[in-house]
Amino acid sequence: MTTHAKLAVWVSQMERLCRPDRVVWLDGSEAEKTRLEAEAVASGELIRLDPARHPGSFYHRSAPNDVSRTEHLTYVCTRNQDDAGPANNWLSPAEGYRRGEEIARGSMSGRTMYVIPFSMGVVGSPFSKIGVQLTDSIYVALSMRIMTRMGRPVLEQLGADGEFTRCLHGKADLDINRRLILHFPEDNTIWSVGSGYGGNALLGKKCLSLRIASWLARREGWLAEHMLILGVEDPQGRVEYVTAAFPSACGKTNLAMLIPPEGFRAKGYKVWTVGDDIAWLRLGTDGRLWAVNPEAGFFGVAPGTNSRSNLNAMAAMRRDAIFTNVVLTEDGSVWWEGGDGPGPRAGLDWQGRPWHPGQKDAQGRPVPGAHPNSRFTAPARNCPCISAHWEDPQGVPISAIIFGGRRERLAPLVYEAFDWNHGVYVGATAASERTAAQVGTLGEVRRDPMAMLPFCGYNMADYFAHWLEMGRRVPRPPKIFHVNWFGKDEDGRFLWPGFGDNFRVLEWILARCRGEARARETAIGYLPGAGDLDLEGLRLPAGAMERLLAVRPEEWRAEGEGVKAFFGRFGARLPQELWRQHEALQQRLDAAARPSRR
């Protein structure tokens, strides 16, 4: 199947370890897709949806204990523990392979092992990375078809001796106690066993394009980030691009596909999607940062997605999509909480149990039909607002980088960092409330630097240093901002309407990049005054804007304590510059808290 001797040797080694009944190399053809779909339907792994309403689309349920990434079972295996750093779980490579082997050994007996050559980024671009994933899951194989470029052209690109990431994936017995997601960056290898879900199993996504890629990026002088990429077209037809890093389930897909408010649309503003989850950023020949989306599809959060909140996502999943852990309706369609319409008369919930909207448990609490982290998998080319440049090999030039998170209090709607290094501090100190995208306590605030805490494949202190270094190397760096769509009032209601109205903030950000918008200087950065955002057509409760743009020094001082404790974990490896930024902020906060002497 391949002229690549190392690849052939590795595949047969893994075959001897996992003992599948047969090995099938995937070429990416339509005929192969049809065959895999038929097999998956026959085995019950996929359910075909009503072909009239959902052409080419399928339904899948993962095991009930396997519905989100398991960060506590995710490891970076380096020879020195310090190279993985305090923010990663660590095993020595020898111990990682030993534990992985124990679970993988013989685990594919009675099953087929699929060999999937895939490219992150367009095939043949010098910036793309090739992986080969072995998997015993047809669901994973068909999802990789949507999420990556795969098959024969990739194998041809790889040639007889090209570099590739070795990605072994096996479901094993889907037992959470026998599940490990292991990264061996020194060997360019990923082993994932015991899970069939999303970021645990689609190894091109978080495992390769962030954990392994971030490691490579540091060595090669670029950035691999958990960021969406979008373009804003103004009425003159000029398009400017931004990237935004928000933690999982904090609004990347929604922002990437945003439809501007009516008034802006009437003037001719448009948003174009380049990517919704991952960005690879490099220095371009013009001295700017350029970004590519290495993926070919969207693996988006279903709940809350509807024709009002995200019409473009709804269109993207209209055909050739896979739905995971949502409600399966009795007439072969799908539904989820916050989806279109009131829901089906009857259906099956994400665990396959009879379910109807309004269902309550024994304690009278509503029972959701879809898992909160249920997802749709859809080809990017289906998206009506996909950018004409989304497959440009060199990417798109970036004007602004936005960090953000989910904070009920503290973080204002938007602020701008003073300069690159301060922006790195803003990113490094970002925090967010935990969502359903990972196992753990919902709502708990955790520090999530650059939204990369679960995804940085090396010591985060070195990662911060690398960001600072990039600032020195990029002659025309983007401006850096922080946003928070999730501020709440005392009654727990969102202060900001979010979604399409986030365009108002984007517009201010881009105007700042052009040197055109006004701002006031505060201790934490530049903020718009209440009149500096274009709020035409938006009716907010009295005082809402003042609250959304308030900076309360006492609260930021308290936050500073958390930052200090977090930075402290990295010891002497943390760049001094971040401590300098921290001290400078504390001094500005002190000055802001003192009554003005002027």
> Parallel, antiparallel, or unpaired for β 58-60 and 47-48?
antiparallel
**Minimum distance from residue 197 beta carbon to ligand SPV (Å):** 7
If one counts every other C-beta atom within 10 angstroms of the C-beta of residue 56, the result is 16
Enumerate residues 148-187 that contact ligand SPV by CB under 6 A: none
When asked if residue 434 is in the footprint of ligand SPV (CB under 6 A), the reply is no
Q: Tell which residue, 261, 275, 347, 233, has the closest CA to residue 121.
A: 275
Tell me the CA distances in angstroms from 193 to 115, 226, 480, 511, one per residue in order.
Answer: 16, 23, 38, 47
**Minimum distance from residue 559 beta carbon to ligand GTP (Å):** 21
When asked if residue 206 is in the footprint of ligand SPV (CB under 6 A), the reply is yes
When asked if residue 277 is in the footprint of Mn ion (CB under 5 A), the reply is yes
Only segment of 177-185, 209-217, 248-256, 481-489 that touches Mn ion (CB under 5 A): 248-256
Enumerate residues 262-291 that contact ligand SPV by CB under 6 A: 277
When asked if residue 248 is in the footprint of ligand SPV (CB under 6 A), the reply is yes
376 is in the binding site of which of ligand GTP, Mn ion, ligand SPV, none (Cβ under 5 to 8 A by kind)?
none
Contact with ligand SPV (CB under 6 A) among 131, 194, 199, 575 = 199
Q: Tell which residue, 455, 465, 448, has the closest CA to residue 185.
A: 455
409 is in the binding site of which of ligand SPV, ligand GTP, Mn ion, none (Cβ under 5 to 8 A by kind)?
none
Binding interface with ligand GTP (CB under 6 A): 246, 248-254, 276-277, 300-301, 303-304, 309, 437, 485-486, 494, 498-499, 502
Question: Site for ligand SPV (CB under 6 A): how many residues?
Answer: 9
Which listed residue (18, 77, 167, 250) is catalytic? 250
E-only strand ranges, 276-395:
279-283, 289-292, 297-301, 322-324, 327-329, 334-335, 347-348, 354-355, 375-379
Q: Tell which residue, 298, 6, 294, 316, has the closest CA to residue 150.
A: 294
Q: Tell which residue, 141, 154, 139, 149, has the closest CA to residue 114.
A: 141
**Minimum distance from residue 47 beta carbon to ligand SPV (Å):** 21
**Minimum distance from residue 72 beta carbon to ligand GTP (Å):** 18
- Rounded Cα–Cα distance for residues 89 and 78 (Å): 11
**Minimum distance from residue 444 beta carbon to Mn ion (Å):** 18
Q: Tell which residue, 212, 176, 207, 220, has the closest CA to residue 78.
A: 212
Query: Tokens at residue 26, please?
Result: 């995937």
484 is in the binding site of which of ligand SPV, ligand GTP, Mn ion, none (Cβ under 5 to 8 A by kind)?
none
Any catalytic annotation for residue 167?
no
Contact with Mn ion (CB under 5 A) among 70, 74, 78, 248 = 248
Q: Counting runs of H as helices and runs of E as strands, what totals does the chain give?
A: 17, 31
**Nearer to ligand SPV among residue 85 and residue 297 (C-beta):** 297
Contact with ligand SPV (CB under 6 A) among 4, 179, 205, 512 = 205
Enumerate residues 311-330 that contact Mn ion by CB under 5 A: none
- Rounded Cα–Cα distance for residues 257 and 515 (Å): 26
**Minimum distance from residue 199 beta carbon to ligand SPV (Å):** 2
**Minimum distance from residue 376 beta carbon to ligand SPV (Å):** 11
Q: Residue 41, CB half-sphere, CA atoms under 13 Å: how many?
A: 13
Contact with ligand SPV (CB under 6 A) among 215, 246, 299, 526 = 299
**Nearer to Mn ion among residue 333 and residue 373 (C-beta):** 373
E-only strand ranges, 129-227:
129-135, 149-150, 165-170, 180-184, 189-193, 223-225
- Rounded Cα–Cα distance for residues 342 and 336 (Å): 10
Residue numbers at the binding site for Mn ion (CB under 5 A): 248, 277
Q: Which residues are catalytic?
A: 250
